Amino acid sequence: MIRSRLLPWEYAVRNLFRRPLRTALTLLGLTLVIVLVFGVAGFIRGLDRTLAVSGDPLVGVVFSLGMGENLEYSSVPMRTGDLVAASVGGIDERYGRKCVSPELYLGTQVTPHGDDEPKMGLVRGVLPAVLSVRQRVQILAGAWPKSGEVIVGRLAAAKLGATRAQLAIGQSIAFEGRAWKISGVFAADGAAIESELWCRLDELQRAMKRQDLSVVLVRLQNRDNFANLDLFCKERLDLELQAARETDYYSGLQKDYGPVRWLAWLVVALVSGAGAFAGLNTLYGAVLGRTSELAMLQTIGFARRAIAVSLMQEGVLLAAAASLLATSIAIAALNGASVRFTMGAFDLRVDPTTVLIGCGVGIAIGLFGAILPAVRVLKMPVVDGLRAV
């Protein structure tokens, strides 16, 4: 009589240790696949978080009409900051001064200390008023730049492909035909501006032989006051300005990077599929090598369903172990790793969502990788299975 009960749980566990070399190789292969999934998922999560935290709902951006998201090509008159401060109601104040930050922003060739070849970097000329507008900015070390100095973002080294030592406080860095001394390092809760170099606005204008600005940032008292800023830009036709909420600006960037995100998810799918086929091939070999054993289990009365469940238990156990190992590697090696990108640089994030994606892919590979070979072997007649070597 065929037994309806399942094989003991320990049977699946013991089988994993009966062939230690094959188990170890399968574990290694699954771990590598899951680590790759962690890397791609962490890339997507890091990019999404950087764009999400970069915008402030109380900050408005004034820039040239028709520039879209290309702020580095924007050009507005130098007096725009003063006009906005004097004409727009509802601007926040700090220490009796309007929270208005005129800025000159550009991508330019930057040569870190010790390098012969310049790299493309992001430079922003600012006034101390920028700290009243960008209130997330914190100086981690050093001091605010004086004449001939720059303060570098936490991720500026990653953007330039340089080492942290090359952008350490006291080192020199060259751009726009002159050398600058690094005075400090700042952070901004993971925002995109952490990839930039900041120097004094007037000095950058002299170095570039420009008297205009790229943007004017304004901190408002509340979100409704953005209408005042927008109305000012529309009324001053002579200045050819437009205004956007900073959150809307970065939301637009998220849409622009949509194809990149979809491509990354496609990579996750392809890596998962490749891992599934690799796991399937390995488990196929493992199961086919046990044909006579599985036939003997049927002979002594275990149902095919019970044997299939036992094989799936082995696959899931192995995949779970690989997922835990891959999670440990990802947290230790990938979480917080800096990635250079067109918009600057950002940190990979191995957060709970990333862990869920990686472990889910791993368990799915183990489960489905065991089902197909189990069906293949268990369809074989018992007599033929007993004769298999």
Backbone CA torsion sign across 106, 107, 111, 116: negative
pLDDT tens readout for residues 323-360: 999 999 999 999 988 888 777 888 888 999 999 988 99
Q: Where are the domains of the chain?
A: 9-52+258-387, 59-221
Residues of the chain short of pLDDT 70, as ranges, are: 1-4, 9, 272, 275-276, 278-292, 301, 376-378, 380-389
Through-space distance between the first and last CA atoms of the chain, rounded to whole angstroms: 26
Phi-psi region of 277 (alpha: psi -120 to 50; beta: other; left: phi over 0): alpha
Backbone CA torsion sign across 201, 206, 211, 215: negative
- Cα dihedral 172/102/107/264 (nearest 10): 110
Question: Tokens for 317?
Answer: 């156990």
**DSSP H or E run through 138:** strand 138-142
Tell me the longest C-alpha to C-alpha distance in the chain.
Answer: 94
Q: Say how far apart CA 357 and CA 360 lie, in whole Å.
A: 5
Question: Tokens for 345?
Answer: 């640089």
Which amino acid makes up residue 136? R
pLDDT tens readout for residues 258-277: 787 788 778 777 876 776 67
- Structural contact between residues 317 and 361, judged by C-beta atoms closer than 8 angstroms: no
Question: Tokens for 47?
Answer: 């990019």
What pLDDT does residue 386 have?
61
Q: What single DSSP character describes residue 175?
A: E
